[in-house]
Amino acid sequence: MGGAVIPDAFNAPHAPKDQPLVLKVASVVRYRFFLYAGLLPYLMGAAWAYGMEHQFRAGIFWTGLLGIFLSVVGVESFNEYFDAKMGTDRVFNPSDDEYIPEWMFWVGVCAFALAAAIGFYLAIEGGWPVVLYTLLGGSAAVWYVGPPVRWVYRGLGELVIGLSYGPWMTLGSLQLHTHRFSWGALAASAVPGLLIMGLAVVNNIPDFHQDRLVGKRNLVVRLGRRNGMVLYLALTAVGLLAASVGAAAGLFPRWAFLASLAGLPFWLASARAAWHTWDTPRRFIPAVKNIVLCYLVGTGVFTLTLLWGTR
């Protein structure tokens, strides 16, 4: 979520001062982030409902998707605003003025308010667990870098990301269609949850020095860059492996192992790049990009196998 998750190469540029307001807002919402972080786990929960439990409610699906989009707008607005206030991106370039206007904060407030309203509306249709998932996701989004909690400054940012885009998003999406909890879907949520948690870790490796200087006590700052490399590779490897283990155990469709195979080449490419460049930020970017592709391809293929279901 936000700056702690998105590699610099995937960030949208800051909005120029003379741009129309609508374009300013749009330029801050990183559409790639919405694609691979916000959208895939939500789709995976719906795919489980349709393919594994043979239930799907189209109107509710689209309403929930709107709520996810608004949440992403809020996350991005808050992260840009509070990172600018803390001066995170100007540690080594203090004269580089990062223009983040005050309206960015209020865009985030409005987006979160609308997302919460949609969440509580969906609770009428989906039951009280939707309220729980809405509150959990909201607390993660609002306070990821926002005061007074600032999860990322307490060493809990990566865990919050993994939970948000793993079980909370997947089970919340499923609840909208089936109105019940599923242990199988909980197991399936480990695939995107572990992969994106690993992505959050790997993205912090190039930012090690500036994060440490501004007080971000993330896992890479706590463990060091080399150990951070080992951690992200372990998390993503287990995330990929979970698809094959679940298929072998009969929890997932038998074709789910294809997700592991599809993501493996990108994992290997990331591991090779990371092994030689973990202490050289600019040369480390291929390691980050390949783990992004590992998440996209692995989670995408896994979602398709769930959509196909037991047929």
Question: Mind giving me the DSSP string for 119-161?
Answer: HHHHHHHH-HHHHHHHHHHHHHHHTSSSTTT-GGGGT-HHHHH
The tens digit of pLDDT for each residue in 12-59 reads 444 444 555 444 444 444 444 544 567 899 999 999 999 999 999 999
- How far is residue 200's CA from residue 203's CA, in Å, rounded to a whole number? 5
| Residue closest to 39 by CA, chosen among 309, 310, 295 | 295
CATH of the domain at 273: 1.10.600
- Domain of residue 89, residue span: 2-308
Are 183 and 167 in contact by the 8 Å Cβ rule? The answer is no
What length does the chain have?
Answer: 311
Dihedral sign (CA 158, 160, 163, 166) = negative
**Structural contact between residues 235 and 194, judged by C-beta atoms closer than 8 angstroms:** yes
**What contacts 160, CB < 8 A, 6 or more positions away?**
1, 140, 144, 151
Residue spans of alpha helices (H) in 157-256: 157-163, 169-178, 183-188, 190-204, 208-214, 219-223, 225-248
Read off the pLDDT of each residue in 144-153 and give the average, rounded to a whole number: 76
Confidence of residue 86 (pLDDT cuts 50, 70, 90): low
Residue 98 pLDDT > 50, yes or no? yes
The pair of three-digit structure tokens given for residue 298, joined into one six-digit string? 């692995």
Element holding 116 (H helix, E strand): helix 103-126
How does residue 212 score in pLDDT terms, banded at 50, 70 and 90? confident
- Tell me phi and psi for residue 105, to 5 degrees: -65, -45
Count structural domains, the chain: 1
pLDDT of residue 87: 57
